[in-house]
Amino acid sequence: MSKVSALYPGSFDPPTNGHLDLIERGAKIFEELVVGILRNTEKSPMFSLAERLEMLKTLTAHLKNVRIEAFHGLMVEYAKSIDATCVLRGIRAVSDYEYELQMALMNRKLEPTLETVFMMPADKYSYVSSRLVREVAQVGGPVKGLVPEFVEQKLREKLEPAYKFHDEMQEETARAAGGKEKKRKKKA
């Protein structure tokens, strides 16, 4: 049997617990798993390529058969260049499947020897996406449990004004609620 090397491509902006779940499980299945961070010049990512590389390298340091790299251009060409025989893709919902199936069929057309393996994340991460994490974080909302603590810290650093504003609003709301409670007690 030949060595099975897989590519798990994505933007990972930011890496979520769902991504990490797939990486850890993929590392058990494949002899080598390359996590390929797509460098897409048409998108404006929250985290720079260097930041995403650093986060993923830190989060996967314990996985000896996982390598973190960046790439640009066609994924199938990159997969060929690293001798990957398989592409790992995560599917959270039926809508993901429709999109991923279309991509897999196109990839097969471009490179017939490249197989695609679909993997579902653990139930507790089935609704988590980088986009949703960014949206919640940008307004200072809690992302605990959606991303690893290391990534949560990086989000707080990057979005400090949003978190500071959110924390101040929470304190103000709590003070206002406390004041209303005192007035009610005085009337009683």
Active-site residues, by number, are 19, 43, 92, 130
Q: Where are the alpha helices (DSSP H) in 94-148?
A: 94-110, 130-138
Sheet holding 86-90, edge to edge: 66-71, 32-38, 5-10, 86-90, 115-119
From 6, 79, 1, 5, select the one nearest 38 (Cα to Cα): 79
Strand pairing report for 115-119 and 32-38: unpaired
Q: Rounded CA gap, 78 and 128, in Å?
A: 27
Burial tier of 39 (Cβ tally within 10 Å: 0-12, 13-18, 19+) = middle
